[in-house]
Amino acid sequence: MAPSKRPTHALSLVPRPSLPASISAVVPCFNEEEVLSELHRRLSATLESVGVPYEIVLVDDGSRDRTWEMLQDLRGRDPHLKIVKLARNFGHQLALTCGLDQAHGSAVIILDADLQDPPELLHDMLKLWQQGYDVVYGKRQQRAGESISKKVFAFLFYRIFARVTGFELPSDSGDFRLMDRRAVDLLQAMKERHRFIRGMVSWIGLNQTPLEYKRPERFAGTTKYPFKKSLFLAIDAITSFSYAPLRMASYLGAMISALAFLYILVVIVLKLRGINFPGYTSIMASMLLLGGVQLVVLGLIGEYVGRIFEQGQSRPLYLVDRVVGEPLQNGK
C-alpha cells in the first residue's frame, strides 16, 4: 500500500536507521470469540516476521461470551501475549486507553479484533516510521461490508467535525495506526474522560502521515459500533474539541430574539391601524417554538456541565480485574 503524498502534519523528518527496539500490538476485545484464533495467528505471524521483541496486549472489555476463556488459552500457549480483563464494559475508547497504558514497546500498533485492520500492513507502516514519522494512521480507500447509512454517517461526521471545531481530522480514518513511543507518552498524558482517541492523536501533532488501504469485511461476528454508539462517539468528539455548539445556541437565541422583536413591532403597527388577529393558534405556536429552543439550549449546556461534573469526580478511567502476562523487556 502506498502512503498518501499529503501528510497530516509535515514537520522536519529525521530518518530512523533501524527498526524499533520492540513493538507492542494493542487490541481491544468485546465478544470476539469468533475471531480471536485467526487474529492471533495472523498478528503473531506478522510480528514474528519483523524480527524484533514484541508483545500483544489484548484487553477484554467486559465480554459476555467466551472471549476471556479463549484469551487465557491463547496466553497459555504464547508467552508474547499479555491479557487484561476489565472489571466491566467501559467502552472501546477506554479499553484502548487501558491497552496503551499496558503497552511497553518503543512502537505501538493499534488495531481492532475483527481483522478489518489487516495486521500485515505493519510492514508498510514501519517503513514510514523509519522515514521519521511518529504516527502512521490507516486511511480507508474502501469500506467493504458497511451499510450505506454508516458510510454516509462517516462522510458527514468528518466534514461536520472539521467545520464545527475548526480542527482538521484525517477523513476516512479510524483508530488503526502505528505510533512511536514519544507519541504514545504524549497521548497518555491526556486524562480526559470522554475520549476520542483518533482526534487526540491528531491534536498532539508531531509527524503524521496516512497509509491508504482497502478495508475488508469483518472476518466474523457483527459490528460493535452500531448507529447509536457511533452517534454518541460523534457527540463526544465534537464536545471534546470545541464549544462551538454553545456558541451556535447563543446565535440561535439571538436570532429568535430578533424575530420576536420584529414580530412585536409588526403587531404594534397593525394594532395602531386597527387590525387585530386574536387567536389561540399563534400564541401556542410562539410558546412552543420558544420552549423548544430553550430546551435545546439547556440540553447543550447540560452536555458540557455533565462532562465537567464527571471530570471533577476524578474517578479512574477504567478498572482492571486482572492482568496475565509479563511486561515487555527493554520496551523503550
Pull the grid cell for residue 180.
Answer: 512511536
Task: Determine contact, residues 24/107, Cβ cutoff 8 Å.
Answer: yes
Full domain range(s) for residue 298? 244-313
Alpha helices by DSSP H, the chain: 36-50, 67-77, 92-102, 122-130, 148-165, 181-188, 197-204, 227-241, 244-272, 280-313
3 in a structural domain: no
Q: Which residue has the higher pLDDT, 33 or 193?
A: 33
Number of domains in the chain: 2
Q: Stretch 9-13: mean pLDDT, rounded?
A: 64
Is 330 domain-assigned?
no
Q: Region 11-22: what's the mean pLDDT?
A: 83
Amino acid at site 41: R
Within this chain, do residues 65 and 179 fall inside the same structural domain, yes or no? yes
Residues 212 and 286 in one domain: no
pLDDT surpassing 80 at residue 232: no
* 218 is a domain residue: yes
**Residue 75 is part of a domain; what is its CATH number?**
3.90.550.10
The label of the residue with cell 536507521 reads: 17
Query: What confidence score (pLDDT) does residue 151 get?
Result: 63
Is 159 found in the same domain as 83? yes
C-alpha cell at 28: 481491544
Distances (CA, A) of 27 to 81, 151, 153, 264: 11, 24, 25, 61
| Residue 156 domain flag | yes
Task: Answer whether residue 306 is part of any domain.
Answer: yes
- Average pLDDT estimate for 194-215: 83
23: confidence class by pLDDT, cuts 50, 70, 90: very high
Given a cut of 90, whether residue 24 has pLDDT beyond it is: yes
pLDDT at 153 over 80: no
Q: What phi and psi values does residue 13 have, to the nearest 5 degrees?
A: -95, 140
Residues 63 and 176 in one domain: yes
The answer to whether residues 155 and 272 belong to one domain is no
Q: List, for residues 58-110, the tens digit of each pLDDT value.
A: 999 888 888 898 898 898 888 999 989 999 888 888 899 999 999 998 899 99
3-state DSSP helix/strand/coil percent for the chain, to nearest 5? Answer: 50, 15, 35
